[in-house]
Chain A
């Protein structure tokens, strides 16, 4: 069983996200270990990009902080490599297509394998353009995670039928960021997915409170939280390890009750 699938095998999964290199790579390494310790089942790490068009202000600013502190794709790979042996939960990179394309696809996936990266999420690589990466990603057995959105409608079956790893179910229109109210009919999105695949489905975009996490995990296989954690990193910087740990612990507890 690959590591991503395993993350969903013990009940509902809690997936946490941080931007790599924010505020610096030392903190990133500590945060990954701390989040695992606090119960995160899968950890997403953003490779910073100058123009993250799917992100709201919180993660966008984290990208800027990481880049201005000198984080590069290579340095992030190196940092992950250093803690590779200590991490047992699956790690998934989230980044845009340009940093991967420019780095060189072959070289990128080779390094993913060396560093123990199990999957990648590329928000600006829709189903129609998957071929851009799918050959290399399958050769190196790195899961190319698919996204479905509230506007996907009939596309859901098409996307889900070829999904690998897990399906990132975008809960709301717009960009990433904390929301008080999520209106989308998640139940029908998930049931369309279920018609064609048993690949697990996790919901992200807008989730920040334990109540929301519990509710959305109940509808699916897990909840993804990004902006709320990145906000803590923005607030506490190098001192964010404890606050993030506490937060992840509470969220995991809520998801477990779903």
Chain B
């Protein structure tokens, strides 16, 4: 396989100005990933700062209520800063620091990746600037304020659709302006090589823990692992350890917004076609001329018109399947998990919960489903209230 490729997907389609930076990053990563000191430092941060391992919780009430497979929740929402994003960010910011970078920049959709990046930058003493679609800064005001509290500068992006895709564009533009002392902390398993690999490696701890924990609790592998997919980092992290275990179904849930047949969705697998964008060959929501579609989802974090190249490969080879979940299904799942288990999931993660509600009753009682609860739902409470017609102040 060619460098940085997952079948034909992946690659390094970035401006020449960035090529030395991505090559330098690849070299540094290849070195540090096998450096015992780096590995120890990162493990220490995971344990004593992020709060790993995260719990694997048996959702007894939900399992009973749905009357099928036994359901476990992987509680990435319990991590410091409230999502799986911290796994990747601690790794990348530590790497940036080792590389002698002075500043980190990042894009963010819902704000979780921005908050995580600002947190790690504060901890490790690096300058931090975050690019966030103007529309998302309005949807997620609390996260904007959080990032500022952490010492980051937040730039509302007013170009294009003013959402995640434009935040990525603007962060790439900023990177070309100050490439020598700046590391771009990419937030998902996307972008030019080596990012999809680096981010997956920093996230694969999720699946590794699921495997170990479930072995202790049930003495076997799960039958299905379900996770939400925007760019796809939490899903890739949850899936990776199970790719060789063919008995384990891997299911990604993508944002169908108002429905896959409407114009308002972000369902890349359902509606996307092959293209090359944001540094990678993969699947994208686009028109016949390759203009990237303005996508939509109630969840700012899934509101992305593409999918990471390794997911494109898993889809193409049939190793993983991907299902669309609408806003309405996600909101119902959000409310359901809150009431049933006392756990308020991120609206992103609620997409995975929604599919588990469909799948579990179809499975035998001795089967096991693991849902990756990628983040906590505090940030979404006001948005859900508004969706239900309740106007509350944040």
Chain A contacts to B: CB under 8 angstroms: 49-51, 53-54, 56-57, 60, 64, 67, 72-74, 97-103, 123-129, 132, 147-153, 155, 159, 170, 173-175
By a CB distance below 8 angstroms, the chain B residues around A151 are: 16-21, 179-180
**With A102-B286, A173-B178: A150-B17 Cβ-Cβ less than 8 Å:** yes
Size bin of chain B's contact surface: 35 or more
Whether B15 pairs with A173 at a CB distance below 8 angstroms is no
By a CB distance below 8 angstroms, the chain B residues around A64 are: 160
By a CB distance below 8 angstroms, the chain A residues around B11 are: 129
- How far is the CB of A176 from the nearest CB of chain B, in Å? 10
Whether A124 pairs with B286 at a CB distance below 8 angstroms is no
**With A50-B291, A51-B160, A151-B179: A98-B277 Cβ-Cβ less than 8 Å:** yes
5 tightest Cβ-Cβ pairs between the two chains A and B: A102-B290, A174-B177, A149-B17, A98-B290, A99-B290
By a CB distance below 8 angstroms, the chain A residues around B21 are: 151
By a CB distance below 8 angstroms, the chain B residues around A56 are: 173
Known: A124-B279, A155-B16. 16 other contacts (CB 8 A): A50-B291, A98-B286, A98-B290, A99-B291, A101-B275, A102-B289, A103-B289, A124-B14, A124-B276, A128-B19, A129-B12, A151-B17, A151-B19, A151-B21, A155-B20, A175-B176
Whether A98 pairs with B173 at a CB distance below 8 angstroms is no
By a CB distance below 8 angstroms, the chain A residues around B289 are: 72-74, 99, 102-103
**With A53-B172, A149-B17: A126-B275 Cβ-Cβ less than 8 Å:** no
A150 to B21, CA, bound (A): 12
Whether B160 pairs with A173 at a CB distance below 8 angstroms is no
Whether B15 pairs with A149 at a CB distance below 8 angstroms is yes
A127 to B11, CA, bound (A): 12
By a CB distance below 8 angstroms, the chain B residues around A72 are: 289
A175 to B178, CA, bound (A): 11
Complex: chain B residue closest to A72, CB-CB: B289
Whether A97 pairs with B276 at a CB distance below 8 angstroms is yes
Whether B279 pairs with A57 at a CB distance below 8 angstroms is no
The one of A49, A57, A147 in contact with B290, judged by C-beta atoms closer than 8 angstroms, is A49
Whether A98 pairs with B276 at a CB distance below 8 angstroms is yes
**1/0 contact trace for B267-291 toward A, CB 8 Å?**
0000001111111010010101111
**With A98-B277, A99-B290: A53-B173 Cβ-Cβ less than 8 Å:** yes
Is B169 an interface residue, CB under 8 A from the partner?
yes
Q: List 5 A-B contacts (CB under 8 A).
A: A49-B291, A51-B277, A126-B13, A126-B16, A151-B179
A-B CB contacts (within 8 Å), total count: 115
By a CB distance below 8 angstroms, the chain A residues around B278 are: 53
A66 to B45, CA, bound (A): 49
The one of B20, B176, B292 in contact with A174, judged by C-beta atoms closer than 8 angstroms, is B176
Chain B contacts to A: CB under 8 angstroms: 11-21, 159-160, 165-166, 169, 172-173, 176-180, 273-279, 281, 284, 286, 288-292
By a CB distance below 8 angstroms, the chain B residues around A127 are: 16, 19
- How far is the CB of A108 from the nearest CB of chain B, in Å? 10
- How far is the CB of A157 from the nearest CB of chain B, in Å? 14
B17, B21, B284 pick with most chain A CB within 10 angstroms: B17
- How far is the CB of B234 from the nearest CB of chain A, in Å? 25
A95 to B292, CA, bound (A): 14
B18, B21, B166, B176 pick with most chain A CB within 10 angstroms: B176
B160, B165, B169, B289 pick with most chain A CB within 10 angstroms: B289
Complex: chain B residue closest to A102, CB-CB: B290
By a CB distance below 8 angstroms, the chain B residues around A123 are: 15-16
A50 to B289, CA, bound (A): 10
A56 to B159, CA, bound (A): 11
Whether B16 pairs with A170 at a CB distance below 8 angstroms is yes
Whether A67 pairs with B291 at a CB distance below 8 angstroms is yes
Whether A102 pairs with B288 at a CB distance below 8 angstroms is yes
- How far is the CB of B103 from the nearest CB of chain A, in Å? 14
A124 to B191, CA, bound (A): 12
A145 to B326, CA, bound (A): 44
Whether A124 pairs with B19 at a CB distance below 8 angstroms is no
By a CB distance below 8 angstroms, the chain A residues around B12 are: 126, 128-129
The one of A102, A149, A170, A174 in contact with B273, judged by C-beta atoms closer than 8 angstroms, is A102
By a CB distance below 8 angstroms, the chain B residues around A99 are: 289-291
A148 to B16, CA, bound (A): 6
Whether A173 pairs with B179 at a CB distance below 8 angstroms is yes
Whether B17 pairs with A124 at a CB distance below 8 angstroms is no
A201 to B70, CA, bound (A): 66
- How far is the CB of B138 from the nearest CB of chain A, in Å? 21
A173 to B273, CA, bound (A): 33
Whether B15 pairs with A54 at a CB distance below 8 angstroms is yes
The one of A50, A125, A170 in contact with B292, judged by C-beta atoms closer than 8 angstroms, is A50
A250 to B277, CA, bound (A): 38
- How far is the CB of B218 from the nearest CB of chain A, in Å? 45
By a CB distance below 8 angstroms, the chain A residues around B15 are: 53-54, 123-124, 126, 147, 149
Whether A173 pairs with B14 at a CB distance below 8 angstroms is no
A147 to B16, CA, bound (A): 7
The one of A49, A67, A174 in contact with B173, judged by C-beta atoms closer than 8 angstroms, is A174
By a CB distance below 8 angstroms, the chain B residues around A149 are: 15-17, 19
Whether B159 pairs with A60 at a CB distance below 8 angstroms is yes
Whether B169 pairs with A51 at a CB distance below 8 angstroms is yes
A82 to B258, CA, bound (A): 43
By a CB distance below 8 angstroms, the chain A residues around B179 are: 151, 173
- How far is the CB of B314 from the nearest CB of chain A, in Å? 22
Complex: chain A residue closest to B273, CB-CB: A102
Whether A152 pairs with B19 at a CB distance below 8 angstroms is yes
A33 to B159, CA, bound (A): 31
A54 to B170, CA, bound (A): 10
- How far is the CB of B168 from the nearest CB of chain A, in Å? 8
